[in-house]
Amino acid sequence: MSDQAVRALRRGVAALVLAGLVLAPWAVDDYTAALLARTLALGLVGVSVALLTGVAGLPTLGQTAPYAAGAYASALVAGRLSDVGPVQVAVAAAAGAALAAVTVPLVVSARGVVVLMITLAVGELVVTAAGRWRSVTGGTDGLAGIPPVRPLWGMPVLATDRARYLYTLAVVAVLLGVVLLVLRTRVGLLLRAGRDDEARLRASGHRVSAHVAGVHLAGGAVAGSAGALLVVAQQYVSPADFGFDTSALLLLGVVIGGAASVAGALVGTVVVIAARDWLFGVLPGQAPLVLGLAFVVTVYLLPGGERRPAVRGRLLPGVPNRRRPADRPTPSEVRV
């Protein structure tokens, strides 16, 4: 297929997906609409995972941490300060970026499995902290009774699940658009270059550590905004929303959606989370098993060679990536 045909096909699929997402709440009941809104929020976290893992080549398991920070910050703002949507999203994004800023010194010079372990630990620590810090987070009971959101100043509050779903969809679409636009500038170029060869990027005079720190902050802000949407969708937040299973599902969704494609990651995450929620009803208690199997199969079927998802540096410390034989001349070619 020619490049043009592929591009046309992709545009067609994107339009269909968007139409389906807009019309979905009229096809389902209120409970499912709320579930779908929550799934979209997780899809936005998936976008932040794809930004780090796919575009920048920095695999992470810790994007639930800024997601949680954003959710709690926005729940507190909604309860005490403002019910206006953009205010909540902005505060949540700031909280997510702030949490990412705390972890940046830990991950900025590490790569590969070490980063996976660090981000996993940070994610777990945040969940534990959320469970213990009762005065702010409500502990394991969570924060309930969060007032409904007002999409803009002067507009009425969103009283139905369908309206809240559409609000979530609109915010996700806007933020996804912003991410895609920014990636079309030199920012995207530098992130992809760093994924391909960091040493060459340094040898060209680029401050690679600043790029890595920057993309972590941006990823934290996107995941934090998703936290604000979660709070809007379920009007409740508790540590159970940010467990390790969520991190693993996010990574699975991102890998299925095509790690380097940010929009694909959104779709992949939505599909995986929806599958989990559906399996939860069909096979009570077996859903984690099925998703674990899906994980194994996906990793097994990952494309190799040129299309293999790229990761920066070394996967394990001390284990160099496999290299082709060096192209040195053989000694017989050396003459005096």
Partner 1 sequence: MTPLLHARGITVRYGSLAALDGVDLRIADGERHALIGPNGAGKTTLLDVLGGRTRSGGGRVWLAGRDVTRLGPAARARRGIGRIHQRPAVWSTLTATENVLVAALPHAVRPAGWRPGARRRAAEHTAAALLARVGLGKLGATPAGQLAHGQRRQLEIAVALAGRPRLLLLDEPAAGLSAAEVGRLAEFLRVLPRAVGVLLVEHRLDLVYALCDTVTVLRDGRTLATGTPAEIRASGPVRQAYAEGVA
Binding site for partner 1 (CB under 8 A): 186, 189-190, 192-193, 195-197, 199-208, 306, 310, 323, 326-329, 331, 333-336
Closer residue to partner 1 in complex, CB, 284/329: 329
Instruction: Report residue 327 as tokens.
Output: 């192209």
Closer residue to partner 1 in complex, CB, 322/328: 328
The CB-of-187 to partner 1 minimum distance in angstroms stands at: 11
Q: Are 52 and 60 in contact (CB under 8 A)?
A: yes
Q: Are 257 and 50 in contact (CB under 8 A)?
A: yes
The CB-of-196 to partner 1 minimum distance in angstroms stands at: 4
d(CA 110, CA 254): 22
Q: Are 294 and 273 in contact (CB under 8 A)?
A: no
The helix or strand, by DSSP H or E, that contains position 144, with its residue range, turns out to be strand 143-144
Residue at 263: amino acid letter: A
The CB-of-306 to partner 1 minimum distance in angstroms stands at: 6
The CB-of-5 to partner 1 minimum distance in angstroms stands at: 18
The CB-of-270 to partner 1 minimum distance in angstroms stands at: 26
Q: Are 251 and 119 in contact (CB under 8 A)?
A: no
What's the chain's Rg over C-alpha atoms?
21
The CB-of-180 to partner 1 minimum distance in angstroms stands at: 17
Closer residue to partner 1 in complex, CB, 199/282: 199
Closer residue to partner 1 in complex, CB, 203/296: 203
The CB-of-311 to partner 1 minimum distance in angstroms stands at: 13
Closer residue to partner 1 in complex, CB, 91/260: 260
Closer residue to partner 1 in complex, CB, 80/186: 186
The CB-of-103 to partner 1 minimum distance in angstroms stands at: 23
Q: DSSP label at 258?
A: -
d(CA 151, CA 81): 15
Closer residue to partner 1 in complex, CB, 106/310: 310
d(CA 225, CA 175): 9
Q: Residue 118: exposed, middle, or buried by beta-carbon count in 10 A (0-12, 13-18, 19+)? A: middle
Instruction: Report residue 330 as tokens.
Output: 């053989």
Q: Are 66 and 219 in contact (CB under 8 A)?
A: yes
* SS3 assignment, position 329: coil
Closer residue to partner 1 in complex, CB, 195/216: 195
